[in-house]
Chain A
């Protein structure tokens, strides 16, 4: 493997890992803070990808179009979606057993998939990358790398940084961290925990939707894409340690590299590598790499 190919695979791994991190971070937050196992999280990724496809013409007709306008509209819609979903469904799950949560969120997956099928159909679609980012940059003499993939990594890194700052440096982040440790105590200090949860949930949904939207031009848009992502993201969450953002980031990058290089070096065993990795890590550290308090 020469240097240019190696470099390209590294960039691909990075981009895939960071994308996984975006979806997994919402999953680990919702699980770690609210204690809800949200199987429908993959569906939000799917919804995002389909938004990128289906909203583009609508946004084009009303606001004059553009990839970034679509992104913005999708983001606003997803915050609303997350807020409403938390209010209508998830807020009833906090006191329930985990298996009841599994059952309800499984039901939600079925509903989301069918609503998608009813509104957009079951076809596979491609989404075009925006003009400004459609180019490539040269790597070495013969190789090129698409700018859009770098853009994805950039967006993911910015979001990760933003999340880190919100969590460690702001009052909101402090309240969220406190709420995950002791719900009743935070409530008795006069903080509206219900609202706090709703915000966290809406943010988790928005991040997953955003991940789906920026990934759409690279991965194309197809039915059941949520299921694939969901399982891999659970792997990320568990390897990283439930509730740990830092762990999720590290685990997502690890999975990104193992999966991408697995496909190049050991194509026969590519699918299984990620799971072997997870099994090994959990047998070594039964609570994941970074267990949150």
Chain B
């Protein structure tokens, strides 16, 4: 068990080191792509706190992501760069306030009903942005000047890359600490058996609401980074397609593990890039959904615990085989 935990932290540490070293070997395209994936990873981590940590499946997480992004753009000054030190907290608070409101209502429902109510609230936010002049309508709005964070100008791709990496590491560490805290244990208890948690004297509702708000706020943080990266926001950032994609990421990676969200975000985005690549698939690349879809179906069939479960599955298979071999050799010994 101890060595298991160590190997996990080694894996995560090596991943972050590799990400830190990556710009040394990558071109502009690679840096931009991995920045985007890291933003998705932060977004996926925020959802993992709810789905894996608390057992609440939210199907409207893009709303918080999009609200964070829109808050960033709408609060930026028109003619000069805003301060990330103000805009970042503003994005987090904006998403967090909406999450608090949505959570306080939707947590009255359970299971599939909860999934659908979170979707409903996300669709409301989507239509507000989509149909009113507030958010620039379907065209979206441009961010004229990217914000600066003290001495750091987030307009530079490398600066933004390392800023995003730092945020990713911080969010990962924060969530890892939470899962080991009393609060995190309580959430895990709610996931496993909410009835019993209540019987042991926990008022579960405030815990769930706190997790929901925190998760929404972190999604807003990811939205801030996305808006800064692209310099542009549009209503599709709040659409249920994105809520679905981020859910797919964490399921693909493996629910119940923080590194599952990390792995899932990378796997999902890289699979997309792979199947979109014209160098490999030529003219067929425009039908990239087909390859992605088949891969997802295969992963459900072959990897019931997600990508995180792959080493365990391999180990079981190896152990199973060697123990079977031991049995047969014993049987042969008996014969002899």
Contacts and interface: CB of A to CB of B under 8 A. Distances in A.
Q: Do A and B come from one complex?
A: yes
Interface string B291-302: 011111101110
Given A106-B244, A231-B119, A272-B123, A111 B252 contact: no
A110 B300 CA distance: 14
A282 B113 contact: yes
A271 B296 contact: no
A283 to B, nearest CB: 6
Among A31, A98, A99, max chain B CB count under 10 A is at A99
A107 B128 contact: no
A269 B131 contact: yes
Contacts of A8: none
B297 A111 contact: yes
B287 interface: yes
Contacts of A102: 247-248, 251
Given A104-B300, A107-B300, A268-B131, A286 B110 contact: yes
Interface stretch (A144-152, A157-165, A211-219, A273-281): A273-281
A92 interface: yes
Contact of B293 (A114, A242, A288): A114
B116 A114 contact: no
Interface in A222-271: 227, 231, 234-235, 238, 242, 268-269, 271
Contacts, number: 119
A99 B57 contact: yes
A34 to B, nearest CB: 14
A103 B248 contact: yes
Contacts of A271: 123, 127, 130-131
Q: Chain A's interface: helix, strand, loop or mixed, by majority? A: helix
B136 to A, nearest CB: 16
B109 interface: yes
B205 to A, nearest CB: 13
A185 interface: no
A236 to B, nearest CB: 10
Nearest to A230: B240
B251 A103 contact: yes
Contacts of B130: 271
B293 A279 contact: no
Interface string B109-128: 11011001101110110011
A272 B247 contact: no
Nearest to A89: B297
B304 interface: yes
Contacts of A279: 105-106, 117, 120-121, 124
A227 B241 CA distance: 9
B48 to A, nearest CB: 12
B287 A282 contact: no
A99 B255 contact: yes
A99 B50 CA distance: 14
Nearest to A234: B116
A118 interface: yes
B315 interface: no
Given A99-B251, A102-B251, A104-B300, A110 B124 contact: no
Contacts of B251: 99-100, 102-103
A92 B110 CA distance: 25
B289 interface: yes
B293 A278 contact: no
B108 interface: yes
Interface in B246-299: 247-248, 251-252, 255, 287, 289-290, 292-297, 299
A231 B126 CA distance: 14
Interface in A82-100: 89, 92, 96, 98-100
A108 B240 contact: no
A238 B112 contact: yes
Nearest to B288: A114
Contact of B108 (A115, A227, A242, A286): A286
Contact of A110 (B57, B116, B290): B290
Given A104-B300, A272-B127, A287-B113, A111 B120 contact: no
A218 B128 CA distance: 28
Given A99-B255, A103-B252, A231-B119, A111 B112 contact: no
Contacts of B294: 107, 111
Contacts of A288: 113
Contacts of A100: 251, 300, 304
A37 B293 CA distance: 17
7 contacts: A92-B301, A100-B304, A104-B301, A107-B292, A271-B131, A275-B120, A278-B117
Those 7 A-B pairs whose CB atoms lie nearest each other, nearest first: A110-B293, A107-B296, A114-B290, A111-B293, A272-B127, A107-B297, A104-B300
